[in-house]
Chains A and B, each alone.
Chain A
Amino acid sequence: MIELSRYIPFGHSIHNGSLIARLDPRTKLIGAVLLIVCLTVISSPLAFAVCLVFCFVLQQASRISLLYILRSLRPFALFLLITFIIEVLFYVPAPGTPQLWHWWILSISWEGIVLSIVTIVRVLFLYYLTTMLTLTTSLVDLTDGLEVLLSPLQKLGIPINAFIMILVIAFKFVPIFVEEIERLIKAQTARGMNFGEGNLVRRVLKLTALLIPLFVSGFKRVKTLSIAMEARCFGGRPGWQRSKLRQFVFTRNDLLAAALTIAACIAMTVTNFIPR
């Protein structure tokens, strides 16, 4: 419990200079969106196979340890299993189809099992893609890329810049709160508190006792940081516009990646509609 930041890999991107890491964040964002839309549409095993091949290529190009990503799935494994079971049990097949087992409103049927598996597979792919996105792109790049992509909306009068600013600041402060929790847990443990003992209710109560000190010290840090930011002239004044040091330039790698992604999406959609 003490090394909390280990379990919350928020905002930590891996700078390993791989092909994927070096892509323009706009390419990655658009690619991720396209793939996610595709995934929600497809359901045939062949289409998923195409997706798997694409993910394999992505994995190789990113040079990130697969083991690390799979391990980060561990906290969710139980949740996924429970979801699967509930979905199977509550699936109501069309009348007339054979059921394997039946009791009250619960039933198990082949159709139910197949559909639930499809859902789980979809969730896994979605998780994989989004994790890949956050691991290969630093938060700064993500938010900058988002800002550039959404800038046309700014011209329509929607305050995109302000939203992005809020996102940046929120992202900045999540690790601060995680750190504060770690410190408080350490301090309390040192004075005899045992967070790992007691039934579930007691354990939760012990954690809630951390809430007030967390907010007090967390907000203090937040305030100090905001003062530092304001001291460097970050702030709302009428007509204030930030400029940027970094510039995004599309390279050949981006075109290649975009082409591959689009090809994969087309392949997935087409194979999805091939009658079995």
Chain B
Amino acid sequence: MIGMDEKLSFFKNGLRLDGRRPDELRPIKIEVGVLARADGSCYMEMGDNKVMAAVYGPREVHPRHLQEATRAIVRYRYNMASFSVEERKRPGPDRRSNEVSKVSREALVPVVLTSYFPKSVVDVFVEVLQADAGTRTAGINAASVALADAGIPMKSLISSCAAGKVDGEIVLDPMKLEDNFGEADVPIAMTPNGDITLLQMDGRLTPEEFRRALELAKTGCQQIYEIQRKVLVDRYSSMDVPESCDESEGLVEEGI
């Protein structure tokens, strides 16, 4: 925490340092199918966070002994580029990226129908190109879209977002400055139905504040879900299809 004689106020006229209201998300940019080699891919920006997610699979598992007889295994590797953070980071995994990988995988696995592809692996890779608090949530969002792009059968997409407490106020999607000097951080991930698949918390909150933070984070996830869905749907709807035609004729009627 910075010295008390020079207290930085995180609010001015009810708005945050970057002009947002307490319940507002940072601007989001999202693109699907951006990599040629990967089976599925998604590039996402949430505020100053820039992440690239790619999915390979289902594919053969190497080493073989990791495979499971009745279903696919899911692997998730979260990695930060050396230039993504303020002070250059030594390349390679560290304890933090290891933990982020684990909880992120566990955020997605509940919706992936792994029984469709026994003895195979679905590999999810997330590279953080620029970090500004919330990279794990951005990663999960991008990964979810990349999984759909790869054609992986899932019960639904997963959307992820964090809420925090800054200067006594509960805020949505804290940026780095708010996260560093804030009193709490609650990242979550959920299905569009509200089933929670990621929940972490650090800091200090009363149970009531925690409830408010969780509800706020859920509203963030719902907004993000609509953005994720739209980028997937728009990709195929943007082609010239005459309005009067019965759209179901396309891929469906003639081929089967």
Say whether A associates with B: no
List residues of chain A with CB under 8 Å of any chain B CB.
none
